Structure 1
Amino acid sequence: MDRPRGDVESLIADAVHDVLGVTEIGRDDDFFALGGHSLAAVRLASRLRAVDLELGVRDIYAQPTVAGLARAVIDGGGDGMLAPLVELRRAGDPAVFCLQPAGGLSWSYIGALRFLDPSISVYAIQDPALQSGDDAIELTSIEALVDDHVERIRAVRPHGPYHLLGWSFGGQLAHAIAARLHERGEEVASLVLLDSYADVAGADTAEREDLSQNGIEEAQNNFRRHMQTDPLLSSFASEVQDRLVRTLGRHLALSIPPTVGRHAGDALLIGASRGTPLEMQRRRDRQWQDRITGTVHVHSVDLEHAQLGQAHNWSVFGQRVADYIWARIE
């Protein structure tokens, strides 16, 4: 283990110890891999301010190691949280790509780091519209999102085998990207869907119309309220929050039409059972089986749909996902 170097790193390591109770902390150990989560990040930021280290929750997410946080102190902080591709962990050749949910931010996947083998690199794909200035690009179709994300994935890993993972809308994207990679002759070794739906409304055209007209606006309003209490989202400037709300609405609109294409292989579907009627669960499972040539391995968990998008709830299903992916790496 590479121990903390210098006074700043030592102060940060002591603060992590106080918050998480971990005794041995290396300068490159990831705060979230050690058991941290959003509320713990708030406590860590408060503990750091108590020793005159002005680091916020966003800094902890962007630079979650002792060494990274020390660099942020020296550099005056930094914010790569809105980048289209975020490196959650750089390791070996096997790499897992986590696809953005409807809100566009993929930082909740940081919960996977505790379970995926340390030899696996982990990348989060986010919506390019979240950036500021000329770099912001609003992609208004699934095809455009897939084109963009495939390009970013192949910039990191030009060839497979690929490992794709997505929660909710991110599952639809992961499936579509898998189909696109198959078309290009690439191997997709694992596809993991976290309570994603291939066809939200099924054959009910009235439900589809209601979702388009009323459901999106309601979801955006709920998201705005949620941002005011979330320790990470509330720290963003108002213009960033507005971009997040617009991105959510755009993605929800794209999620309503049925998913097309087929994945030539197996998939793992982690299905939320709490608050989801049994018939809806069965419909969700059937819909994916119709779009996947191999076996859909369904693993039900006692969580609500939204809870699968929270980093700390990886404790419920993370080992199942990690085992599934690792079996397709060995």
Structure 2
Amino acid sequence: MAREGVSGKQLLGYVLAATDTPADGLGERLREQLKASLPDYMVPAHLMVLERMPLTPNGKLDRKALPNPDAEQRLAYVEPRTELEKALAKIWQEVLKIERVGLTDNFFELGGDSILSLQVVARSRALKAQGLSLKLRDLMQKPSIGELVASVQGTAEKASGLLAMNAEVKGVAPLFCLHAGFGTVFDYEPLARRLSGRRQVLAIQSRMLLDPAFNDTSLQEMASEYLAQIRQKQPHGPYHLLGWSLGGTLAMLIAAQLEQAGQQVKFVGLVDSFVPSAAVDAGAVDDWQADLRDFLQVTLPDAAPGLSIDGEETPHNLRALFQRAMSAERGASTYVALGADELAHVFSVARRLKQLSLKLERCAPLAVNPTCWWTLGREAEALELAAQLGQPGMGGEWLDCGHFQIPRDETFLSEAEEMLGQIVESVVMS
């Protein structure tokens, strides 16, 4: 059936399980099978498993009595009122390709991702005359139109570093994902999409990325601050943590602190994690120019090869370098939408996080046995990490892909989805 949802019309499906078929997870299993043989627009957005179909007094299907999974969201819809709210809602509707956006709707829960975020930032430049000067970090901190407009008018509450990347699943413990070396969390989007409707993904962003005036002093202190955010949202265990690259190290530090506090850590996922080691890092060279070339290769790849990098690592020089790089970017990279100032800020955050990571000598032992995914060639580091954690048989899955590709690797996503979809416990949230 086609029904009106908070994001426009949706195709809904209703299913009765056969007597010998487990109803648990049946809807999602059917959706995956349908995806293999049908175009996306023909796959129901929701497949609801019912105990019985509602019938009219004469025994026919009562279509009006079929439950609506979107009912609660529809009741919560808040219509944009001011010209600025309406203009921003129109941009979101066009970028997200949906019919309606409310003041309290979460951009990422509506299907927003890193590329679409950059498109919103670029299109929002037309709203400067109305007082909105939108940066990527604003959207990451305040992912609803109401929050963004309130921040312009000076009435916004202090934003949280937690970013909801899909909708809450009541009674199921969320998965907390820790930011990697750039401070951003968009690399967890594919996993959040897979877990939608089964487990909420809450991503923790770098405070330095959100607040340019802030400067972290150590990974241990960062872990303590992030732990406070986690426990404010979920006061008691069991906890589920996951991190890619530097995020894996932060997940281990947080897990150790939780265990020391007597809390249960049920799951720690390490995705090609950074492995601290005083012996390995003793010969590391802090070369900002090499780091900048690596950063440009990811953000402005056309400009990276021919760009002359000279001078000192100062904010003024970095802005000038990024201005030149943006002018040379022939491939129209979506990162151009950020502008030179914000690109320079993201790079500075990445530099600071790298410096802090090189100061960490080792991770503390853990009682929980982490689940690991590694890229090929890191066997020695995997053994080193197992020794640090006191988990000699830790092992892991070896994937034939690059470090920057692993968060989107099909094997990783399928295995993580299966594991986190099966681990279900009732929890009390804040």
Asked whether the equivalents of residues 181 and 350 of structure 2 are also in contact (C-alpha less than 8 Å), the reply is: no
| Partner of residue 225, structure 2 | 148
Are 2:422 and 1:327 aligned?
yes
How many pairs were matched up? Answer: 306
Please say if residues 180 and 243 of structure 2, whose CA atoms lie closer than 8 Å, have aligned partners that are also in contact. Answer: yes
Equivalent position amino acid for 2:118 in 1: V
Counterpart selection for 1:76 from 152, 166, 176? 152
Instruction: Verify the 8 A CA contact 2:242 2:248 in the aligned structure 1.
Output: yes
Deviation, 1:11, is 5.3
Partner of residue 177 from structure 1, selected from 254, 257, 260: 254
Q: Give unpaired runs (5+ residues) of structure 2.
A: 1-5, 7-73, 300-321, 327-334, 426-430
Q: 1:238-317 to 2 correspondence within 5 Å? A: 240-241=345-346, 243-254=348-359, 257=361, 259-272=362-375, 278=376, 280-290=377-387, 291=389, 293=391, 296=394, 298-308=396-406, 313=408, 317=412
**Structure-2 change in CA distance of 1:46 and 1:97 (3 Å):** same
The CA deviation at 1:306 is 2.4
Q: Give the CA deviation at 1:218.
A: 2.8
Moved more, 24-33 or 163-172: 24-33
Structure 1: where are the runs of 5+ without partners?
273-277
Contact 1:166 1:193 in 2 (8 A): yes
1:31–1:300: structure 2 CA closer, same or farther, 3 Å change rule? farther
How much does 1:190 deviate? 0.8
Tell me by how many angstroms 1:195 deviates.
0.9
Q: For residues 105-120 of structure 1, what are the structure 2 equivalents within 5 Å?
A: 105-118=184-197, 120=199
State yes or no: 1:193 paired with 2:259: no
Note the C-alpha offset of 1:161: 0.7
The Cα offsets for residues 192-243 of structure 1, whole Å up to 9 and x where unpaired, read as 1111143569xxx5x5333x22567633553377564635764645884575
Q: Secondary structure at the match of 1:213?
A: coil
Deviation at 1:88, TM superposition (A): 2.1
Alpha-carbon contact 2:223-2:254 (below 8 Å) kept: yes
Q: Is the 8 A contact 1:83 1:126 kept in 2?
A: no
Question: What is the alpha-carbon distance in structure 1 between the residues aligned to residue 90 and residue 241 of structure 2?
Answer: 36
- C-alpha distance in structure 1 between counterparts of 2:102 and 2:160, whole Å: 28
More helix by share: 1
Answer with 28-37 or 231-240: which moved more: 231-240
Structure 2 residue matching 1:262: 3-state secondary structure:
coil
The one of the two structures with greater contact order (alpha-carbon pairs below 8 A, sep at least 6) is: 1
Task: Quote how far apart the aligned CAs of 1:164 are.
Answer: 0.9
Q: How does 1:123-134 map to 2 (within 5 A)?
A: 123-130=202-209, 131-133=211-213
Matched, 1:208 2:306: no
TM-score by structure 2 length? 0.57
Q: Which residue of structure 2 aligns with residue 138 of structure 1?
A: 216
Give the superposition deviation at 1:181.
Answer: 1.6
Q: Which amino acid aligns with 1:261?
A: A
1:166 equivalent in structure 2: 243
Partner Cα separation in structure 2 for residue 77 and residue 231 of structure 1: 27
Cα distance in 2, alignment partners of residues 174 and 253 from structure 1: 17
Any idea what SS the aligned residue of 1:171 has? helix
> Matched residues in 2 for 1:43 and 1:143: separation?
35
Q: 1:47 to 1:104 in 2, by over 3 A?
A: closer
Instruction: Provide TM-score, normalisation by structure 1.
Output: 0.71
Q: Which digits, 9 at most, give the CA deviation of each residue in 1:68-115, with x for residues without a partner?
A: 22542465278x9x9773232573451222223233344543554322
User: Corresponding residue for 1:63?
Assistant: 142
Q: 1:215 to 1:327 in 2, by over 3 A?
A: farther
Structure 2 residue 290 is the aligned partner of structure 1 residue 218: yes
C-alpha distance in 1, partners of 2:181/2:343?
19
SS of equivalent to 1:115: helix
Matched position secondary structure for 2:404: helix
Question: 1:275: which partner in 2?
Answer: none
Residue 68 of structure 2 corresponds to: none
Residue 303 of structure 1 and its aligned partner are, at CA, apart by 3.6
CA contact (8 A) 2:369 2:391 kept: yes
- Residue type of the partner of 1:222? D
Taking the aligned partners of 2:341 and 2:189, their CA distance within structure 1 comes to 19
Gap change, CA 1:40 and 1:24, over 3 Å in 2 = same
RMSD: 4.1
- The 3 A distance-change label for structure 1 pair 60 and 301 is farther
Distance verdict in 2 for CA 1:12–1:114, change over 3 Å: farther
